[in-house]
Amino acid sequence: MRGFLRIGGMMVLITCLCGALMLTACQPAKAPDKNGNPDTGDASAPPITGKIKAGFIYVGPVGDFGWSHAHEQSRQHVMKLFPWMESTYVESVAEADAPRVIDRLVQEEHCDIVFTTSFGYMDSTIEAGKEYPNTLFMHCSGYKQAPNVGTYFAELYQMYYLNGLMAGALTKSKKVGYVGAHPIPEVVRHINAFGLGLREVNPDARVTVKWLFAWYDPAKARDATEALIAEGCDVIAFTQDSPAICEVCQEYAARGKQVLTFGHYSPMQRFGQDAVVSGQLVDWNGLYEEILMRVHTKTWTNRDYWWLAKERATLLGGEPDVPINPKFVEPLKAVTVKDPILGPISVHDLALKRLDQMREPTVLFDPFTGPIKDQSGTLRLKPAERASMSMLLSMDWFLDNIDGTIPKN
Amino acid sequence: MSRFRISITRRSEPGRWFAAGTVCAAIGFGFVLAGCLFALGGVNPLTAIARIIMGSFGSLYGLKETLTKSIPLILCSSGLILAFRARFWNIGAEGQLLAGAVGATFIALRSDGIPGSLVIPAMFVAGAVCGAFWAWIPGILRFRLGVNEVISTLMLNYIIAEFVQYLVYGPWKGSQQFGFPYTDNFHADAVLTTFPGSRIHLVTLGIALICAALVWMVMHHTTFGFSVRAAGESSGAARYAGIHAGRVTVAAVAIGGAMAGLAGVGEVAGIHHHLSYPWSISSGYGYTAIIAAWLARLNPLTAILSSIFLSGILVGGDTIQTAMNLPAATVNVFNGAILFSLIGSEFFMSYRIRIQPKVVP
């Protein structure tokens, strides 16, 4: 007798076992849902309890820093704050997959409100709004609303302007670099605001722009930074999600060459203690609290929330509660400019004064106030005229102290 | 001092039922493997796997999404089978799909002069031509200059992806898209109708099924199919039989590229309605199709099933996040576990393993 065992046969057996187990497991999946409501199969039925369930769709991984991370932090914040809230999230959702994920959140997870947190989800969100009139949607960073679709955004350009003031005081070569993620209106707005700040303190300084065509690509960001430094830039600002540029500047500091930068979006001073002067930080907590509270109290409307410094949605600094890196406070106090209204004032004080003005309920100051000319010399804003919302949202021109191109069609 | 001997012997071509059994066993094993990972994440593995299957095949909604995602996979994998049968290792279905999307967009953006009913057919033709052209390049490079097609097809994927980026940021950037890198949305004539209440673009689904059937027909019942197989199995023998191996292979590869191009047309005209970032248009269909083709053991009809299965795994993966709050990476781990065991099962199909008592001399 030569007993032998066929591995193939054994695998067939394993499968049968799995199949049997799975069939039994399918039963509880169909059983009553979390709220104890029997599954009636009616997808759009509103929940019976007073709980509110929110679904969040993120474009990137929730990770350690950057855009999706910031939203996820605030989701966790409101979950702790509101005992009546339930939530679920889906990360790394490609634009093309958004309709499917929205369907799932509404039909299977029975969400009362769905937050879609990337510009590319805009049309999918509007479509979903038509398909599910009993569900609320909030789309982040878009410009289309519908009866049950609102929009919200935390805008950073004011902080970029403040960073620009500091860059103007600290640059010695009068050449400042800017690494931009994508040539889209939001980033163009950031670059122009930065340029406005720079010009106010240092009218001769110029900004050189390099595009990455990626939100997150540390290797490309590093290359772009090295190239800008080789061209003579001694301050680098950026709009992209990795802290790579802070690390490059810190490496230069360690070698005794000063190249300064500003953190973007997340706390990034920790990646460059000797090189990160300040930065822009976002805080979505207030916006999510406001929106969810309105859903809870049944006062939600399809508003367009556009929150800035005034609402404390955007903050100055490379770390929370550190508007200016202490290492650079003295150098910034040492540079004085003459302001038509404020008189002689150090750049340090000017930046903090401007921040206060922008935080006033009536917004006493806005960077995008004319006269503003673009690269070709065209007057875009007349003296004392402030930029309209539509100009800010579709900005496709550079200020006259900026060297770089926006790809045109 | 083991008392057993393991002997591995080559198996003749596995029977149909044995092959099917092994594939099922491998999938089962993959579920067990993935289940262990779920258990490590603190989730009941049976509930998790049940939810994934419910999310892709077990509900009408999931089924619709699974079918939608399988359309490009069926087209790409049938096309790849043509090339693989000729032993031409085409890794470029991803790029050929994008080339098709570019061709279709070109027609859609300039559809003013074309009668409404002809726009869609013109888009499909343009997409097929572009896909075929993008596959023809590495074909001709291999047979004229001896360039390794694995490298050239892969590199051409990057070239076309950068080209798509150039188009959507530059000359084709839409005037109504607020400066964002999308072309303008297609005119209604250039948009495919979908099955009501779903995103299944029926025309492309029909084309996909017909293509798969045609590839099977051609492979098994025509002289061309015989030539392709002969060129793949032994180019020397093919030459003796009067078959021009190079010409036949390039033709097969180009036809395969045309099918990937059709998939690209379906994606832009059926799903997106504009051209945008390359990774948004395709999400890796060209690469997943390679797995679908091999999983089907290079049979285009079986490739329909393997494509549906793979898209089901992709679609069901959402529930790992929504229902169980596990990170997105878990989806990739799950898919990886299934594919790993499927590829591992190839070994058991080609070799017979016997464990027998050691014969004492």
Reported as a single tens digit per residue, the pLDDT across B116-167 is 899 999 999 999 999 999 999 999 999 999 999 999 999 999 999 999 999 9
Q: pLDDT above 70 covers what percent of chain B?
A: 99
In a domain, B353, yes or no: no
DSSP 8-state symbol, B177: S
In a domain, B195, yes or no: yes
In a domain, B355, yes or no: no
User: Chain B residues with CB inside 8 Å of A24's CB?
Assistant: 46
B352 CB burial (10 A radius; 0-12, 13-18, 19+): middle
Q: What span, in angstroms and rounded, lies between the C-alpha atoms of A387 and A394?
A: 11
**Confidence bin at B2 (pLDDT 50/70/90):** low
In a domain, B11, yes or no: no
A29 touches chain B (CB under 8 A): yes
User: Chain B residues with CB inside 8 Å of A188's CB?
Assistant: 179
List of E strands, B146-200: none
CB B70 within 8 A of CB B308: yes
**Confidence bin at B184 (pLDDT 50/70/90):** very high
In a domain, B17, yes or no: no
A409 and B24: CB-CB below 8 Å?
Answer: no
A91 and B169: CB-CB below 8 Å?
Answer: no
How many domains does chain B fold into?
A: 1
B323 and A108: CB-CB below 8 Å?
Answer: yes
A89 and B325: CB-CB below 8 Å?
Answer: yes
- How much is the pLDDT for A409? 61
The H or E element that residue B354 is part of is strand B351-357
B119 touches chain A (CB under 8 A): no
- How much is the pLDDT for A48? 41
Judged against a pLDDT cut of 70, whether residue B235 lies above it is answered with yes
Alpha helices in A154-231 (DSSP H): 157-170, 185-201, 218-230
Set out the domains of chain A in order of their start, with CATH numbers: 52-154+285-307 (3.40.50.2300), 157-281+335-403 (3.40.50.2300)
pLDDT for B28-55, tens place per residue?
998 899 888 888 888 888 888 888 888 8
Cβ contacts of B172 within 8 Å, gap of 6 or more: A409, B105, B109, B183, B275
Q: Read off the pLDDT of each residue in B14-21 and give the average, rounded to a whole number.
A: 81
User: Chain A residues with CB inside 8 Å of B178's CB?
Assistant: 143, 185, 393-394
User: Chain A residues with CB inside 8 Å of B179's CB?
Assistant: 183-185, 188, 394-396, 406
Tell me how far CA of residue A43 lies from CA of A38, A40, A53, A107, A252, in angstroms: 12, 8, 14, 5, 57
- How much is the pLDDT for A2? 38
A62 touches chain B (CB under 8 A): yes
- How much is the pLDDT for B234? 85
A55 touches chain B (CB under 8 A): yes
Q: Which of A7, A29, A119 sits opposite B47 (nearest CB)?
A: A29
List of E strands, A215-354: 235-239, 260-265, 276-282, 304-307, 314-316, 336-339, 343-346
Q: What span, in angstroms and rounded, lies between the C-alpha atoms of A169 and A347?
A: 7
- The model's pTM is 0.82
CB B316 within 8 A of CB B62: yes
pLDDT for B287-305, tens place per residue?
999 989 988 889 999 999 9
A158 CB burial (10 A radius; 0-12, 13-18, 19+): buried
CB A200 within 8 A of CB A165: yes
Question: Which of B274, B322, B358 is the best substitution to test chain A (most A C-beta atoms within 10 A)?
Answer: B322
Tell me how far CA of residue B16 lies from CA of B23, B298, B299, B304, B310, in angstroms: 11, 13, 12, 17, 21
Question: Which of A10, A86, A88, A97 is the best substitution to test chain B (most B C-beta atoms within 10 A)?
Answer: A97
Length of chain A, please? 409
A387: helix, strand or coil? coil
Interface of A with B in 375-404 (CB under 8 A): 393-396
CB atoms within 10 A of CB A74: 20
pLDDT for B86-115, tens place per residue?
999 999 999 999 999 999 999 999 988 888
Residue of A nearest to B20 (CA): A12
Counts of helices then strands in chain B (DSSP H, E): 14, 2
B321 touches chain A (CB under 8 A): yes
In angstroms, the separation between the Cα of residue B161 and the nearest Cα of chain A is 12
Length of chain B, please? 361
Q: What span, in angstroms and rounded, lies between the C-alpha atoms of B141 and B138?
A: 5
Interface of A with B in 72-101 (CB under 8 A): 88-92, 94-97, 99-101
Q: Read off the pLDDT of each residue in B276-281 and give the average, rounded to a whole number.
A: 88
Interface of A with B in 142-201 (CB under 8 A): 143, 182-185, 188
Burial B94-131 (b: 16+ CB within 10 A, else e): bbbbbbbbbbbbbbbbebeebeeeebbebbbbbbbbbb
In a domain, B46, yes or no: no
Rg (CA), chain B: 22
Q: Mean pLDDT of all residues in chain B? A: 90
Judged against a pLDDT cut of 50, whether residue B183 lies above it is answered with yes
In a domain, B346, yes or no: no
B173 touches chain A (CB under 8 A): yes
DSSP 8-state symbol, A322: B
Q: Mean pLDDT of all residues in chain A? A: 87
Region of poorest pLDDT, from A158-172, A311-325, B205-219, B347-361: B347-361
- How much is the pLDDT for B361? 59
Q: Which of B49, B58, B165 sits opposite A213 (nearest CB)?
A: B165
Q: What span, in angstroms and rounded, lies between the C-alpha atoms of B249 and B228?
A: 6
* Cis peptide, bond prior to residue B361, ω within 30 of zero: no
The H or E element that residue A175 is part of is strand A175-180
Interface of A with B in 361-380 (CB under 8 A): none
- How much is the pLDDT for B87? 93
Judged against a pLDDT cut of 90, whether residue B254 lies above it is answered with yes
A214 CB burial (10 A radius; 0-12, 13-18, 19+): middle
Residues of chain A with pLDDT under 50: 1-48
Q: What span, in angstroms and rounded, lies between the C-alpha atoms of A106 and B322?
A: 11
Query: Quick one: CA torsion of A98, A100, A106, A108, rounded to 10 degrees?
Result: -140
CB A324 within 8 A of CB A278: yes
User: Chain A residues with CB inside 8 Å of B59's CB?
Assistant: 108
Burial B49-77 (b: 16+ CB within 10 A, else e): bbbbbbbbebbebbbbbbbbbbbbbbbbb
Q: Which domain holds residue B158?
A: 69-301
In a domain, B261, yes or no: yes
Q: What span, in angstroms and rounded, lies between the C-alpha atoms of A251 and A240?
A: 19
